[in-house]
Amino acid sequence: MGRADWSWGVPATLTTCKVTGKLTLMSADALSRSPLHERHVALGAKFAAFGGWEMPLEYAGGGVIKEHTAVREASGVFDVSHLGKARVRGAGAAAYVNACLTNDLGRIAPGQAQYTLCCASDGGVVDDLIAYLISDDEVFLIPNAANTASVVRLLAADAPAGLTVTDEHRSYAVLAVQGPQSPAVLAKIGFPTPDDYMAFVPSGDLIVCRTGYTGEHGYELVVPWDSAPEVWDSLIDAGVRPCGLGARDTLRTEMGYPLHGQELTLDITPVQARSGWAVGWNKPAFWGREALTAEKAAGPRRTLRGLELTGRGIPRGHMHVYAGESLVGETTSGTFSPTKKIGIALALIDTAAGVNDGDLLEIDIRGRRTEARVVKPPFVQPSVR
């Protein structure tokens, strides 16, 4: 059997374990499906295996570039129900989560969400996730699909008496409505539109949070599993373009947003990935604190950088990066930027190489060296405020 189609960085027949980084060939019968699967079939979706789920890669009549452009210029909706859902509940739940995950929940109030990391004792990243602070005694978590069981297991193992940690992966779907027209769309169908970034509000039996993974103004709707088709239909009827994981990948890469399993792994720390802003360095405790504090003080041996091709070519992950004849790093993600019309990549570059923004390096793209300029992401100016 041949290799999967990696044309947009999302495998069609291979799935990547986000903890081990190993590729596994999976049949469609072995994959989980979202509650919207039949809706995607009806829209002519091309499917891909992602984190153990069969999810839409792109749709007939659209394709990655059209879907990408819709999000940048109008609005698009992504089914991201493969993302995990977990809940920590009981007296002191927020304090407990704060002592485990990297970011500082003390910086936010109930009704706000926060990007954070679950790290191993050596500083490697088990997962990156969003924490919804409901109250001092309840935190709702959205981890990545393949890592939900690991996050739940780790939190449950150390939980004090009286706290419960539950896996609610199949209790909720998640729909991401993204793009400059997203506030008008949600208002049109009667959903609230929180003004503040990372704020969330309940609306009936769903939650609307002003979050996203595209760099555009947008919202993520946490919907009861069985209600997802009705909500999806209302969004499509309102004129929102359905978008697949192919466009989600090009949009997030243009922003320089990390993807677990590529820019963040058990072997890539938040210090190396320039995600230290999601670490509460002054907190007395969180998993991996000692190792990460030591790495920050000493300086990382490699750092995530952005690369823009100066000529033709499309970089992918795991390609060698050179400064002259010296191997100085490896790409973690790469794609064609539909907005800038050039190849772009994220790469881990050795600190000892002394590379600076503006320097020219070369990426080995299938045996051919292609020039690329070092830049600081994002590659495209975000509209999120």
Distance CA 353, CA 321 (A): 11
Does the global pTM surpass 0.75? yes
pLDDT digits (tens, 9 = 90+) for 201-218: 999 899 999 999 999 999
CATH H superfamily, domain 86-167: Aminomethyltransferase beta-barrel domains (3.30.70.1400)
- Domain residue limits, the chain: 14-79+172-217+225-255, 86-167, 301-375
Question: Cα–Cα distance between 120 and 269 in angstroms, integer?
Answer: 9
Please name the residues in contact with 42: beta carbons below 8 A apart, sequence gap of 6 or more: none
Spatial distance between the Cα atoms of 222 and 206, rounded to a whole number of angstroms: 6
Q: Which homologous superfamily is 14-79+172-217+225-255 in?
A: Probable tRNA modification gtpase trme; domain 1 (3.30.1360.120)
Predicted confidence (pLDDT) per residue in 175-199, tens digit: 999 999 999 999 999 999 999 999 9
For 191, phi and psi rounded to 5 degrees? -100, 145
Within 10 angstroms of residue 324's Cβ, the number of other Cβ atoms is 8
Rg of the chain over Cα atoms, rounded to whole angstroms, equals 20
For 350-380, write each residue's pLDDT tens digit: 999 999 999 999 999 999 999 999 999 999 9
CATH architecture of 301-375: Beta Barrel (2.40)
CB 98 within 8 A of CB 106: yes
H or E segment and range at residue 182:
helix 182-188
Q: Cα–chain-centroid distance for residue 15?
A: 16
